[in-house]
Amino acid sequence: MLSVEQVCKTFTTEILPETEAGDSKNKKKKVKPVKTKIVAADNITFQVEAGDIFGFLGPNGAGKTTTIRMILDILRPDTGQITWKGKRTMDIPRRSFGYMPEERGLYPKMVVDEQLIFLARLFGHDKAYAQRELDYWLERLGIAQNRKKKLEELSKGNQQKIQFLATVLHDPEILIMDEPFTGLDPLNVNQLKEAFLEMHKRGKTIIFSTHQMETVEELCEDIVLINKGKVLLNGNLRQIKRDTGRTVVRLAIENDPEILWLDSVPGVTVTKRRADFVELYLTTPTSTDDLLRLVVGRGGHVLRFELAEPSLNDIFIEKVAGVSLAQDPSRYAEVAQEYLNSTTVTR
Amino acid sequence: MKNIILIATREFTIRVRKKSFPITIVILAAMLLVVVYLPTIIGFFAKGSQTKIAVINQTNQSSFGGQELKSFLDYSLNTTLDAKGVPQPAKVGKKPPYDINFVQPSETEALRQKVRDSKLDGLLTISRDSTNELKFDFYTNKTSRDTVVQRISDIMSRLTISDRLSRAGVQSQQAANIFAPAKFSLTDTEKEKNDKKGIGGDNYDAAASYGLTFFMVIALFTSINAFGSIIAQGVAEEKSNRIMEIMITAAKPFELLFGKVIGIGLIGIVSILAVVAVGVPAILLQSTVSEALLGDSSPTSFSLAGASLGLVGMFVVYYLLGYFLYATIYAGVGSLCSRIEDVQQALAPITVLQLVAYFIAIFGLQAIDAPWVVVASFVPFFSPILMIARLGIGTVSPLEIVISLVVTALSIVVCTWLAARLYKVGVLLYGKRPGMWQALGFGSISK
């Protein structure tokens, strides 16, 4: 089990204060930078079970990379400790970890197989072992024909696969991947997911961060969500969804895409009106059976009546932005849009 | 340790495999060959060319103070002295350097035209003025500082003095005694020392050892500077393409630092060895080649006598120490840069430091035993280059060598410690480059 216990990390940087326009006195003086403290990790605690696929979530600037670097012992926490199977991570061999940083990086002018074998040897494996593993994985990901090419000659997708190999080739116990699926086409995403599951079958612990909540819902049993250095949510994903105490209904009726009469039903909050269905939250006094009866009684051809869990996406935005979809759908939509824009821009 | 070797091997092989590597070696070797063979090349082109001088004698005399004009000119201009100062007659079948022709005054205008057309090097007219003094006019297109003009002027002074002595009634035999060279002998301490050791001997050549020292000082400076910036750029490049994030999880920062420094240092050593492999035979064969081409060994030939094995050995020691001293700093500074474009600017302070050491060494060569040069040769950062200069042409006691080695070794330890500290912080920092002081952790900084 990987255990992160009450970890804190504060950075101090110097920021130039903004001078007020027209303030002539300030212009003459040399503007002194002001020391500012940035809390990157504020009492972060969570556990990852060995052999788990674990989602590490948070908006940009939440402190994910800092936390990951502390797990990898590239940075040391100010207080708190991080252990793997009872040993502090700074005391276990470096080959136990496989790390795929968010900013991809390998030697662009180096030949693929030389580069990967070099890295595996740095982690302490012998050449024969590295060669064997490499042969297997290149075949497995369908890129064997690229082994003698320079990295910069490969397509983006294939470069990403090589990056994945650089993470797993030394057979680490714990894989930590920052945004492993961004920038891949669906075919490559699938191949990479299969490789993920293979590592899972081999008993590896996989921690990955992503902004694609569907992927998290598909792969992860447990998650942690952090924002501004603090843990907002931690635990089993299904349990987290159940804990919201909400019932989500997706409804579609032929020739009535908007189903406007829903707004007048007590206990119903419409959250999304999409072309293919209308999504709503259901609370007392109306039960799902009541709603179904109402729909049938209204007449019309029911295309869809589906009970669903609240999506992780909604939970994420509610938690991070503090806007509830159920209480304020319009504000929620605004924030969601904003969030979506910011993540696509910074990525 | 294993990781240091792995990283060093990678740094070495990727650079050696580049197409530019053999090309650089070939260019360096070619440059060395040109330098070594320059005297031979100049000699080869000068061979067979003669300085043609026409002489018009308007004095009605063919002999001045017992000196017959034609043979006097011939002897003065065409006899070379060997290393011991004994005159050597011109070799049979070889054209003498000067071709002297006596002509009639009536040809003056035609000959002047020849001089103007560069078909004749000079027209010398000898006459007497109203006070019966000899008077010379040298019509030439050469400047007053040209060696030919200087030489003619010297010889004419001697002729004038002979003539004056003769007119004053001094016998020609007495005059010859007056002109006999002074008995002056020179013993310099370095030569004496080498004579005692039995090395160098008669072949010891101060000019050659000066040249060799100069060459070593330049080699030390340019090579450390060049390989240092290769290191700094390599580190910045690894940061900018983010491979560093993976490397830092695979190896410890000091392994990355030393692996890089050693790997690139090996390239420096290999290039120097390759150049030496070409250069040493070239220098050894130099007199043979020049004899074959020129028919005799050129008196300006560069001899290896100045380079004792000890000096070459010390050069290697100081080169390695100097390289390590600067290389770790270059790596540390490189680690502060997020982009390759920032590197040159960040390196400016080190480059200045090196330039100061270089200029002290170059000016120091003129006054190698001056107190300020001696003191500077014990200052960290200046020591390697200045000790090479002092060992090459000055006098250095064994104690001084020990002191400089200790000073340099200590500064290597301190600099490596600082550089490793910079490196550890620097490699993960992106964005604005922090100040050196901050990055070393003496100020506060995000790390």
Cα gap B97→B78, rounded to integer Å: 6
For strand B51-57 and strand A302-308, is the pairing parallel, antiparallel, or unpaired? unpaired
CA distance A53 to chain B (A): 21
| Mutant choice from A71, A102, A107, A179 vs B, greatest count of B C-beta within 10 A | A107
**Contact check, Cβ <8 Å, A119/B250:** yes
When the pLDDT of each residue in chain A is averaged and rounded to a whole number, the result is 84
Residue pairs between chains A and B whose CB atoms are closer than 8 Å: 58
Q: What percent of chain A has pLDDT over 70?
A: 88
Note the pLDDT of residue B301.
45
Report angle CA B263, B267, B270 to the nearest 5 degrees.
130
**Contact check, Cβ <8 Å, B243/A103:** no
CB B64 within 8 A of CB B133: no
Complex prediction ipTM:
0.75
Alpha helices for B168-205 (secondary structure H)? 172-179, 189-197
**Chain A hits for B247, Cβ within 8 Å:** 122
User: Cα–Cα distances in Å, from B295 out to B5, B33, B39, B83, B118?
Assistant: 53, 20, 14, 17, 28
CB contact set of A231 (below 8 Å; sequence gap of 6+): A43, A44, A45, A46, A224, A225
* Residue in A with minimal Cα distance to B6: A122
User: Cα–Cα distances in Å, from A151 out to A115, A116, A314?
Assistant: 9, 11, 39
Note the pLDDT of residue B261.
93
CA distance B27 to chain A (A): 25
DSSP state string for A115-182: HHHHHHHHTT--HHHHHHHHHHHHHHTT-GGGTTSBGGGS-HHHHHHHHHHHHHTT--SEEEEESTTT
Note the pLDDT of residue A202.
92
Cα gap B437→B440, rounded to integer Å: 5
**Contact check, Cβ <8 Å, A12/B446:** yes
Note the pLDDT of residue B12.
93
Residues of B near A (CB-CB distance < 8 A)? Answer: 2-3, 6-7, 10, 14, 241-251, 428, 444-447
**How sure is the predictor about A148, in pLDDT bands with cuts at 50, 70 and 90?**
very high
CB B439 within 8 A of CB A4: no
Note the pLDDT of residue B447.
38
CB A170 within 8 A of CB A123: yes
**Chain B hits for A69, Cβ within 8 Å:** 428
Q: Shortest CB distance from A119 goes to which of B14, B242, B246?
A: B246
**Chain B hits for A109, Cβ within 8 Å:** 14
Q: From the CA atom positions of chain B, what is the Rg in Å? A: 31
**Chain A hits for B248, Cβ within 8 Å:** 74
Note the pLDDT of residue B41.
77
Note the pLDDT of residue A116.
94
CB A160 within 8 A of CB A100: no
CA distance A313 to chain B (A): 30
**Chain A hits for B428, Cβ within 8 Å:** 69, 74-75
**Low-confidence spans in chain B with pLDDT less than 70:** 46-48, 80-94, 186, 188-208, 286-287, 290, 293-309, 430-447
- Per-residue pLDDT tens over the stretch B396-427: 888 999 999 999 999 999 998 888 888 888 87
Note the pLDDT of residue B119.
85
CB B438 within 8 A of CB B444: yes
Note the pLDDT of residue B441.
56
**Chain A hits for B10, Cβ within 8 Å:** 118
Cα gap B334→B342, rounded to integer Å: 9
**Chain B hits for A106, Cβ within 8 Å:** 241, 243, 246
Rounded mean pLDDT, A26-40? 69
**Chain B hits for A123, Cβ within 8 Å:** 250
Rounded mean pLDDT, A237-247? 81
CB contact set of B80 (below 8 Å; sequence gap of 6+): B87, B88, B90, B299
CB A335 within 8 A of CB A319: no
**Contact check, Cβ <8 Å, B428/A75:** yes
pTM (two decimals): 0.72
Using the predicted structure, report yes or no on whether residue A339 has a pLDDT greater than 70. no
CA distance B324 to chain A (A): 24
- Per-residue pLDDT tens over the stretch A278-328: 888 887 778 888 888 888 888 888 888 888 877 888 788 878 777 766 667
Q: What percent of chain A has pLDDT over 90?
A: 25
CA distance B332 to chain A (A): 18
CA distance B417 to chain A (A): 19
Rounded mean pLDDT, A249-276? 85
Using the predicted structure, report yes or no on whether residue A114 has a pLDDT greater than 90. yes
Cα gap B78→A231, rounded to integer Å: 98
Nearest to residue B416, comparing CAs of B347, B330, B352? B330
Nearest to residue A231, comparing CAs of A18, A27, A46? A46
How many residues in chain A? Answer: 347
- Per-residue pLDDT tens over the stretch B106-141: 888 888 988 888 888 889 999 888 888 888 999 988
CB contact set of B215 (below 8 Å; sequence gap of 6+): B35
DSSP label of B435: P
CB B433 within 8 A of CB B345: no
CA distance A180 to chain B (A): 15
